[in-house]
């Protein structure tokens, strides 16, 4: 079995310490602690599965147990009797989605330095350009992605492309 190169393995360990759990779908990568990828994922790509919990509401409604008793002259002799019934209703079902992440071997010090500069240019990073994904860098990634509508702290391929850090394969976009 082929093992990850030392640099890639160190990057994967560093990412896992940051809460990033990439999924690698290449046959030449040791599958220790790596989950599966979405159907149709290209070999050598890394993925993260996101689960959005179901939205459940508690709804209460009144059920008529006994109708009102009304006299012949129209007066209420006895008011109606109701019972409250409470039930849980799934308003939005649980969803699982896959998001492509840069693989650990891509996250070189040069790449991370470029990421830090790109985030700084957009007002999301105010630290030193270190080439390391530290807490300040992770917070900047999360801040930038949240502003783009993605509440995810791990850098995604889409964000890296948006920042101009990864090229777009025109063959896959058509």
β-sheet bridge partners, residue 23: 47
What's the DSSP call for residue 155? P
β-sheet bridge partners, residue 62: 84
Which of 171, 147, 172, 169 has the alpha carbon at shortest distance from 159?
147
- Distance CA(134)–CA(128), nearest Å, equals 11
For 48-102, write each residue's pLDDT tens digit.
988 889 999 999 999 999 999 999 999 999 999 999 999 999 999 999 989 999 9
State residue 14's pLDDT score: 44
Q: Distance from CA of residue 30 to its chain's centroid? A: 25
For 25-63, write each residue's pLDDT tens digit.
333 333 333 457 898 898 889 999 888 899 999 999 999
| Residue showing tokens 């990828």 | 37
Which of 156, 133, 147 has the alpha carbon at shortest distance from 16?
133
Q: Let me know how many helices (H) and strands (E) the chain has, helices first.
A: 5, 7
Burial environment of residue 162 by CB neighbours within 10 A (0 to 12, 13 to 18, 19 or more):
middle
Give the three-state DSSP class for 139.
helix
- 150, 156 contact by CB (below 8 A): yes
- Domain ranges across the chain: 6-52+95-173, 55-92
């Amino acid at each position: 079995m082929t093992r990850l190169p030392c640099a890639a393995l160190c990057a994967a360990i560093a990412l896992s310490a940051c809460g990033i759990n990439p999924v690698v779908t290449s046959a030449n990568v040791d599958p220790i602690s790596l989950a599966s990828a979405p159907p149709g994922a290209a070999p050598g790509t890394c993925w993260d599965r996101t689960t959005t919990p179901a939205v459940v509401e508690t709804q209460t409604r009144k059920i008529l147990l006994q109708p009102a008793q009304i006299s012949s002259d129209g007066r209420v002799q006895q008011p109606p009797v109701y019972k409250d019934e409470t039930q849980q209703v799934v308003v939005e079902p649980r969803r699982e989605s896959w998001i492509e992440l840069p693989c650990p071997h891509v996250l070189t010090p040069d790449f991370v330095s470029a990421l830090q500069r790109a985030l700084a240019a957009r007002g999301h990073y105010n630290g030193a350009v270190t080439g390391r994904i530290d807490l300040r860098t992770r917070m900047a990634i999360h801040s930038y992605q949240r502003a783009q509508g993605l509440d995810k702290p791990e850098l995604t391929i889409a964000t890296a492309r948006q920042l101009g850090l990864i090229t777009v394969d025109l063959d896959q976009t058509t």
